[in-house]
Structure 1
């Protein structure tokens, strides 16, 4: 355990944060005295009616109706209903600015750079929204995007939300079947697609896949193509498709549909590596409030800030990123490889656009560390005050790397939650110190606890299941096509009825921070001892030759044995000496129980489109069980490296 934090905000910084201002104003309004963040958080979960009403008012939510009662049936989980007497429109809250300041900045590798002002974005949404209305789109219809991370994707989503349609998106690197596994379940009326995209310097045409997708979606009435790789895409192979500009009208104002608080806004998808993806429906009001809490308070986002997150439109961080418009921030979009032409491209963008909030993944930070990049020595990152990381646990050594090689003045906030809740359970805080390897705090409004398998709260420092014991507004409205919420309840409430069990294996530290050890369904259990996968990755990937690793528990002689797969640097081979070094590193820094019985070299590690490695899919392959949805993976061919390995028969 570190004796000193890696970063500590100066008192003058703390004095001017949104978090400080919010706490001060809330204490005056409600008669509380918040001495520290722990007391503010306690109020947010013990007095949710006061807290969420305060969020509504403090962030200036645009809505109508009576904000009371704030919540009905708050003890029901699921089942609580938030702001039942209010109505709002999500897009209206994101389009509140209509001036000439920049709303969106866009870069597609080294091919395209452009921007839109708030006024220009509003104007494009007005033209698209009117086009949707004239096309017969009504509240509840589904509108989908098979799109790169570009301004037209944002405009299409906002146009969809403005008329009350439900938006759902996939990134264009998905295969046809992966798209149909998702969109085919929800019967969309309108589909937006770019003509193609660039990745790693190569041009990828989307129109051939688009033809197969539209053929597989009989509900489609309109297919709209956005030019990106060509000024004039050839649509002859896509009968019925037309350019987005031919769909837009000359409308200049948006007639926002005024909708119930929990009106469906987004349909998101589970990773789908163990079957057809589950369709998770999120409401407009809950998504809006959740993102406002996290961005304005936990990230300290302000009007005119530049907010960047490296993401695709197939990851919930895209939805989170776009919500930055509701705070008046400039949203920076990047589409393509973060390593083309080299690992500096993200930091070139961050420097040029003077980004204040930089978001990425733990895997990206690990990759640039192993590539030997030192951005603080090659780029002006003085504007960066917050660095966000998610997707998988950020290991302690990555904290060291960021403060040594990227920035020693930014608040490094590892954040964790999921598509399931449109946000985070645990995350950052500009008022708190950053401790090595720890997520700073539970998010306001989220009553997080750590439970054992019997449902008992475990002591500080002990590992267990992350649970949330209180209802919150961004819980899913439900799953699509799920009578009586059977799949929804099975996903989160089966283990502990009435309590959200998220499936993360965590502990709480003496600082009140949180350490995530991996997914609890991937936890290893040799000899009955539970081991988080992140504990092993951290040690194995400290070895210079190891680029990436994946660990599973293999059923073996009535027990489970630990099997570690490693991807090595080019030209490296796993010999007995390197295998012994890996095992020794794990033994010395964890326990003998953590040491793998087998260490096996593989050419690649399978991962989802958002970069998460898939232990469960590999475990199925090793045990000869089918993986039902390979299309959900970015590199499905990598699974073949794990089939029928002779090393696992002895």
Structure 2
């Protein structure tokens, strides 16, 4: 029996959404579209090129449009949209905002708050573009940012893309080798970098790292220095150009319109199993996909205030910045989400009247563990949507958000990744929210789950695949001229299908008198981290959901350990301060898992550890821990935020018996 929804929009709210307005536009032209979102989704998949053409017209994307909407007769892996169109990313991000409207509101952990209007942002980015042009930066050149999430990062990206150059960024919490592993591959012409920052109440001096990065990048023509922290003055010998000086140039007002599939961003895989892959995303595909997701699936409009807790090393930063294309105000934050006080982000949400608030699933779980109840302590009347990504949002976190944050809000768990700089499954302001589920598949994305033979599963768990081409597929991998590594990464598992590496299922909801037909999605974890005890596949998220119900547990990590010609489940737990894992707590954890899943989910061993390793963007790294447990090398520890934590998993006596 279908569970009742946790929330559904009122008829008036549904009618006022961007999704409904766009759907009505389509239905006027194509009256044969089946009813409801599922009918709209089926039409968008069957007529995907027409869908993207209609989106371009609806949102007035600025470009020189010419030629067909898609390459004819190209296979999925190599298909390109709008192959003869030309456009500029920065032009589209800056064109819609009213000059006097606020474009950016920046907050930092140390209390600094700055505001920039669209007119200011245009001037800053155009002046910086002129400086970059003076340094020889032009179409295809790379500009690298070693920067926090702030006004300078946004200005740097816009200036770079205005010239048709390629932007790539790392957050300052990356270690030296992690930065060099990334920027060293793409050979940037200019580096924009900071001298220091504050995190969790501590000053982090980055000057020596910047000097070492410059020394390691022979391609650099210029360093542009940002004075981000007063306690870390730049030494004279480092050279380069100061940020204030870089903004003194007469603004470059010309926007270079380049082919639709020209490079815009270079993003990086996590790099925990080797040197990071450099994933090249194109101008047009990124813009169209983000407009679709932000406008239709998130209901973002001009004047709205959009916030996502992210760094410049995570693709959610790129996704956030595209909100400018809709004339929205972006609220930026740099620092710890729990400093100087645990409720700092909710303070910002109240002060800035944020309408759409996003963070990681782990953040919301941590808020609940910390006892935060923003519904009681903050005025969140402006809040309409809560977004979550990074890992599956636990069922209990859905309960927490509706109980302790706000009852009348659309909670949208979203899932995609760096590989597509967007989502496969995400939210929908016109649909109900069901506990533990992503609301829907993205428009024009032919997504399903398949078995080991690549056959679609109407029900049941399988591998997430996409059966059609979509604009935000990577243009290429860097230095992969024949696309061999690109094909191997996504198309080698199932012929002609994009295999994303997620393990999950579609959950159908039959239409009733009060709820529409709906196909929700559950993501059970990464398929390469799926456990396989006794030949039964188990998603790690299924275990985490149960373990995190236990009050003593702050977070957990599960792996499969090779043992006696089989695989056994091993669970590592980080507990609250002052609590030690004993037999009673082990029994509680095992009973909680067994009562709510199956006996196969119950770990054979539970081990307490003081910390759990994670990537810079906050994702736990099951594969790296599995390698350590099996005595195998972890080849790129600099990709981790806390690489020292791996030592806790070496030669554990509990795993030798």
Paired with 2:311 and 2:621, the residues of 1 have a C-alpha distance of: 18
* Deviation per residue, 1:41-78 (Å, 9 max, x gap): 11111001210000111111000131x41111465121
Per the alignment, residue 626 of structure 1 pairs with 633
The residue that corresponds to 1:518 in the other structure is 525
The verdict on how the C-alpha distance between 1:237 and 1:548 changes in structure 2, with shifts beyond 3 A counting, is farther
Q: Distance in 2 between matches of 1:232 and 1:453?
A: 54
Q: TM-score, normalised by structure 1?
A: 0.98
User: In terms of mean alpha carbon deviation, does 22-31 or 138-147 score higher?
Assistant: 22-31
User: In the TM superposition, what is the alpha-carbon distance from 1:557 to its structure 2 partner?
Assistant: 1.1
Alpha-carbon contact 2:137-2:189 (below 8 Å) kept: yes
2: CA distance, partners of 1:49 / 1:561:
47
For the residue of structure 2 that corresponds to 1:177, the secondary structure is helix
Which secondary structure state, in structure 1, belongs to the residue aligned with residue 203 of structure 2? Answer: strand
- 1:63 is paired with a residue of what secondary structure? coil
Match of residue 9 from structure 1: 9
Structure 2 Cα separation of the partners of residues 112 and 425 of structure 1:
36
**Which residue of 1 is the match for residue 513 of structure 2?**
none
Structure 1 unaligned residues grouped into runs of 5+? none
Q: Judge conservation of contact 1:41–1:444 (CA < 8 Å) in 2.
A: yes
Report the counterpart of residue 39 of structure 1 in structure 2: 39
Q: Within 2, Cα distance between the matches of 1:74 and 1:127?
A: 43
The question of 1:466 aligning with 2:439 is answered no
Contact 1:98 1:122 in 2 (8 A): no
Q: 1:523-574: per-residue Cα shift (whole Å, max 9, x none)?
A: 0001100000001111111111011000000001111010000000000000
* Equivalence for 1:126: 126
Instruction: Give the total of aligned pairs.
Output: 647
| Alpha-carbon distance in structure 2 between the residues aligned to 1:536 and 1:98 | 48
User: Does the 8 Å contact 1:274/1:629 carry over to 2?
Assistant: yes
CA contact 2:205–2:232 (8 Å) conserved in 1: no
Following TM superposition, by how much is the alpha carbon of 1:362 offset from its aligned partner in structure 2, in angstroms? 0.2
Residues 75 and 14 of structure 1: is their aligned pair in 2 closer, same or farther, counting only changes over 3 Å? farther
Aligned residue number for residue 294 of structure 2: 295
Which of 561, 564, 577 is the matching residue for 2:584? 577
Matched, 1:88 2:95: no
Q: Is the 8 A contact 2:543 2:601 kept in 1?
A: yes
SS of structure 1 residue aligned to 2:25: helix
RMSD: 1.2
Provide, for residues 102-132 of structure 1, a one-character-per-residue CA deviation record: whole Å limited to 9, x for no partner. Answer: 0000011133111100000000011001111
Runs of 5+ consecutive residues of structure 2 not aligned to the other structure: 510-518
Task: Provide the TM-score with structure 2 as the length reference.
Answer: 0.97
**What is the match of residue 364 of structure 1?**
363
Contact 1:450 1:507 in 2 (8 A): yes
Q: Distance in 2 between matches of 1:619 and 1:145?
A: 32
- Aligned-partner Cα distance in 1 for 2:7–2:388: 16
Quick one: distance in 1 between partners of 2:30 and 2:2? 37
User: Does the aligned pair in 2 maintain the 1:235–1:242 contact within 8 Å?
Assistant: no
Return closer, same or farther for 1:231/1:259 CA change in 2, 3 Å cut-off: farther
Corresponding residue number in structure 2 for 1:77 = 76
Aligned counterpart, 1:57: 57
Structure 1: distance between partners of 2:570 and 2:196: 40
Q: Is residue 414–residue 427 contact of structure 1 (8 Å, CA) maintained in 2? A: yes
Kept in 2, the 8 Å contact 1:69–1:84? The answer is yes
User: Is the 8 Å Cα contact of residues 30 and 50 (structure 1) preserved in structure 2?
Assistant: no
**By how many angstroms is 1:35 displaced?**
1.7
| SS state at 1:426 partner | strand
In 2, Cα distance between equivalents of 1:390 and 1:3: 23
Question: Following TM superposition, by how much is the alpha carbon of 1:237 offset from its aligned partner in structure 2, in angstroms?
Answer: 4.1
Q: Is the 8 A contact 1:143 1:191 kept in 2?
A: yes
Alignment of 1:222-621 (within 5 A): 222-230=222-230, 233-238=233-238, 240-460=239-459, 462-511=460-509, 512-621=519-628
For residues 85 and 25 of structure 1, what CA distance do their matches in structure 2 show?
26
Q: What's the CA shift string for 1:433-463, capped at 9, x where partnerless? A: 0000000000101111110011111132x10
CA offsets, 1:462-490, max 9 Å, x none? 10001000000000001000131111111
Q: Take 1:10 and 1:246, find their aligned partners in 2: how far apart are those partners? A: 52
Conservation of the 8 A alpha-carbon contact between 2:146 and 2:193: yes
CA distance in 1, matches of 2:65, 2:584: 70
| Distance (whole Å) between structure 2 residues aligned to residue 159 and residue 420 of structure 1 | 24
Match of 1:158 in 2: 158
8 Å contact from structure 1 (residues 2, 436) kept in 2: no
The answer for the alignment partner of 2:25 in structure 1 is 25
| Cα separation, partners in 2 of 1:299 and 1:235, compared to 1, 3 Å | same
Aligned counterparts of 2:80 and 2:439: Cα–Cα separation in 1: 29
SS at 2:209 equivalent: helix
Counterpart Cα distance in 2 of 1:203 and 1:323: 30
**Structure 2 counterpart of 1:198:** 198
| Aligned-residue offset at 1:269 | 0.1
Residue 167 of structure 1 corresponds to 167
| 2: CA distance, partners of 1:44 / 1:198 | 46
CA contact (8 A) 1:90 1:161 kept: yes
Give deviations 1:161-213, integer Å, cap 9, x for gaps. Answer: 00011000000011111100000000000000122111011111221110011
Inter-partner Cα distance in structure 2 for 1:142 and 1:152 = 17
C-alpha contact 1:416 1:427 (8 A) present in aligned 2 = yes
For the 8 Å contact 1:77–1:498, the answer to whether it is kept is yes
Q: Distance in 1 between matches of 2:74 and 2:592?
A: 47
Distance in 2 between the 1:545 and 1:65 partners?
58
Once the 2 structures are TM-superposed, how far is the Cα of residue 232 of structure 1 from its aligned partner?
A: 8.9
Deviation at 1:80, TM superposition (A): 0.5
SS in 1 for 2:156: helix
Paired with 1:293 and 1:500, the residues of 2 have a C-alpha distance of 20
Change (3 A) 1:465 1:74: farther
Give the C-alpha shift of residue 231 in structure 1.
Answer: 9.2
Separation of aligned partners in 2, 1:598 and 1:232: 47
SS at match of 1:513: strand
Give the 4+ runs in structure 1 shifted more than 4 A: none
Shift in Å, 1:2: 6.0
1:139 is paired with a residue whose SS is: coil
For residue 304 of structure 1, give the secondary structure of its aligned residue in structure 2. coil
